[in-house]
Amino acid sequence: MKFKDFAKQKTAGVLGLLAFGGMMYIMNRAVPKIADDYPFSFIWDGKNHGNLTPGKKRYRRVRNIKDLVRSQATHYMTWSGRIIGESMNQAILMKDDKKLYDILNTGVSVLWLLLCVRGGRGRKSPAGMSLPLTALMGAGYFLSTPHLAATSLWTTGAMNYSWPGIFQYTYLLHYAMKYRDPEYTANKAVMALLGFLAGFSNEAGGGAALVLSAAATLRSHKRGETAGFMQWGLAAAFAGYALLMLAPGNFKRYKWEIEYSDVIPEDLSDPGIIPVEYNYTSVMFKHHFKNGFMKTLRGTIPMQLPVLFYFLNNKGMNSDTTKYILLLEGAALLVPSVLMFSPQFPVRAAFLSGPFVMSAAAASIEGRVINNPASLVETLKKLSYTAIGVTAAVKYAAALITDSDLYMQTKEQERIMRDTSENERALIPRVMISPFYLRIAGDRTIDEYIKWYIDYEDYPDGPYNRSAAAYYGAGEVVAYEPWDHPYKKKDKASLMEQILRPLRSLIRRFITGGYPLYQRRKE
């Protein structure tokens, strides 16, 4: 390729990344402060079973590093070992600057694209990343990320899955480079740090990182190619994972949830959590397989198409590339497989599965030595890639409209709570989601699962009620369902309002600055 053509291709790829970043930034701006964002804005209360339990009365905001350290020490001893993600979470929430988070989180989304392409190519640089490849990977990230809103947009969710996933994937990336290039090496101290962060991050991703790096180290050892960085990274990942899983808070929380908590469901209606009596029975595995494992795999279908076309068009296949693609596919399967053995299997916990499939797709796209433009496979490929782009665009629009509607509704809730004195009860309207756009967007937006958290319970002692009331200065918070809300009706006028009202919210969020149209014109 001539330098001029290479420069054009690289420029187009950079513009594609900027466009993807802009779209993700807009989506971030449409997601309000919700759910655990409120309880985690306060110092963790170890004496009263944490900030996510009913009846908590006293709250104190995390205002500085001293508060954060104190909060996370208590969190580790009384609730969970996830202090990597939760430390980042409380640090972000400390400033109460959603715009800053939106900028940082957009950068993380773009970084994920670059990492996945690098992981697929096995190169040290994403140079020459073409516009079609950037567009396809951007659409793939949007469509294949398990529960996009909960893992990559929502502040507390991203801090527990998307951001720690960067540590896990970057750590494994060095083992992938070693797999493709026996002469590859890395700094031991850096690998030890990455390994520790990867293992100490979260249960599913940390476990997958530990297993995969152990397998890679064992393979290299058998082939006589073991490098010191692999052993340093593996040892640190083991130490980090041990600290995560053996945290005293894990055992205290488990005991408390079994004995006292109403979080554990009484039946199998919750897709992510099962009643205690079904733990490690055939019922649990069937439930997890249907609602977790298969849902994770279905979400990765868009990025499986390039892999499928790689194997269908068998001209010029490279055996090393083929083995590498299969390795990435195996890693993608490992993450939900690990979760099959956990009492809880929320789909968002399988986040790392998506990037592995995206890397397999990138490897498949660049793994061809010979392409036959006239073949049926090439025709199907073009049609499928077009379908992926159109699907992503439609779902993106529906998700943005839905989230903007929720954003404006939560702003009204916040206004009521701010205007309520600390001795009074704030009666706020329950958040409603337009079923018209939800059917299109699915879990690319804040769907019914997340909506449950921002509804606030209909009793004042709920943890989200109490923390939201403390955050905004109200005495108590109780939500009510508007009896005349069109989202709950099926007549023609209501159906039309389900389409138009969210569109008006979109305009208010991004054009009129949050004001109603008539008020903006008056000003």
Helix ranges (DSSP H) in 273-315 = 282-288, 294-299, 301-312
Q: Which residues contact 100 (CB under 8 A, 6 or more apart)?
A: 92
Structure tokens at 336: 């939900």
Q: Name every residue whose Cβ is closer than 8 Å to that of residue 468 and which is 6 or more positions away in sequence.
A: 38, 417, 456, 474, 477
DSSP per-residue letters across 319-377: HHHHHHHHHHHHHHHHHHHHHTTSSB--GGGGTTHHHHHHHHHHHHHH--S---TTSHH
How large is the average pLDDT for residues 345-367?
Answer: 88
How sure is the predictor about 264, in pLDDT bands with cuts at 50, 70 and 90? low
Confidence class of residue 455 from pLDDT cuts 50, 70 and 90? low
- Is it the case that residue 458 has pLDDT exceeding 80? no
H-helix segments, 79-130: 83-95, 98-121
**C-alpha angle with apex 115: 110 to 116, nearest 5 degrees?**
100
Q: Give the range among 127-131, 301-305, 490-494 with minimum mean pLDDT.
A: 127-131
> Region 63-78: what's the mean pLDDT?
94
* Maximal C-alpha separation, the chain: 76
Spatial distance between the Cα atoms of 291 and 339, rounded to a whole number of angstroms: 12
Predicted confidence (pLDDT) per residue in 368-418, tens digit: 544 455 567 777 888 888 999 999 999 999 999 999 998 998 888 899 999
What is the rounded average pLDDT for all residues in the chain?
85
Q: Which two tokens stand for residue 390?
A: 């159109």
HSE, side-chain direction, 13 A CA sphere, residue 97: 10
Q: How many residues in total does the chain contain?
A: 523
Q: What is the pLDDT of residues 150-162, one digit of tens each?
A: 899 999 999 999 9
Rounded-to-integer distance, Cα 43 and Cα 69, Å: 9
CA distance 197 to 236: 8
What is the rounded CA–CA span in Å between residue 38 and residue 472? Answer: 10
Q: Tens digits of per-residue pLDDT, 221-236?
A: 888 887 889 999 999 9
Domain locations in the chain as residue ranges? 3-371, 390-522
Q: Name the pTM for this structure.
A: 0.89
Residue 292 is classified by DSSP as: I
CB atoms within 10 A of CB 422: 11
Chain mean position to CA 440: 19
Residue 483 has pLDDT above 70, yes or no: yes
